[in-house]
Amino acid sequence: MQIIPSFDLLDGKLVRLRQGDFEQKTEYDASPLELAKELEAAGIRRLHMVDLDGARTGRPANLHILAEVAAHTRLEIDYGGGLRSIPSLKQVWDAGAMLFSVGSVALLAQDEFSAWVDKFGPDRFLVGADVRDRQIAVHGWAEQTEVGIFDFLNKMQSIGIRNFTVTDIARDGELSGPGLELYKDIIAQFPDIQMVASGGIRDVADLEDLRAIGCAGAIVGKAFFEGKIPLQFFRVYTKG
């Protein structure tokens, strides 16, 4: 299982939001590039980069940080936020992202998303499913749909998507533990997908639990930035 640190970017700074709320943000005094280098030195191979400015405006706004990290590390970066057109995808690709991280568009504009998949290939997409009570939420979690997570995954798998991140909204930014039962059920029903867990991860024990049930990866944010999962652990984990 890969540990995938999350860099949430707002105004060029590293931040964390509580349950996606821009009014409940915490800023971290760290250079994205220098921190990315430290993570790479510790054995991390992949980085989840969220352009919060882009999510609000509809256009990628932190491409300079993406380009800098991509140019000075070998980290595989998945990048999301503001990806609403083929030109924006091309911008992100040219800046150095290896995966496009998309969410609402995959559900709300499926024909358009299918065209993107046809153009770039399904393996270039990391589809995010933000889940509340096992139903998909969209538009930054503000709008709840009646689409169930299993129906959504089945549809995405039918067009070739294999890479998913599933966020348990109620747990995000809360350090309350991941939604293990949800992830167990998804892995049992969709054994061929690469499922990355997100939300609620609070410590090393949670990472071990996620690995034990078969998650392909785990995104860590608040727990890492607040020292609950130390950098030293990454060095041991990635070598083991």
The DSSP secondary-structure symbol of 1 reads: -
Give the domains, in start order, of the chain with CATH numbers.
2-239 (3.20.20.70)
CA 12-18-24 angle, 5° bins: 70
User: Sorting pLDDT into bands at 50, 70 and 90, what band is 222?
Assistant: confident
Please tell me the distance from the alpha carbon of residue 138 to that of residue 51, in angstroms, as a whole number.
Answer: 16
Mention every residue, 6+ apart, whose C-beta is less than 8 A from residue 31. Answer: none
Tens of pLDDT, residue by residue over 134-145, are 999 987 767 889
Please tell me the distance from the alpha carbon of residue 187 to that of residue 224, in angstroms, as a whole number.
Answer: 25
- Secondary structure of the chain: what % helix, strand, coil (to 5)? 40, 30, 30
Instruction: Quote the pTM value.
Output: 0.92
- For the chain, percent of residues with pLDDT exceeding 70: 95
Please tell me the distance from the alpha carbon of residue 181 to that of residue 186, in angstroms, as a whole number.
Answer: 9
Catalytic residues: 8, 130
Please tell me the distance from the alpha carbon of residue 33 to that of residue 18, in angstroms, as a whole number.
Answer: 24
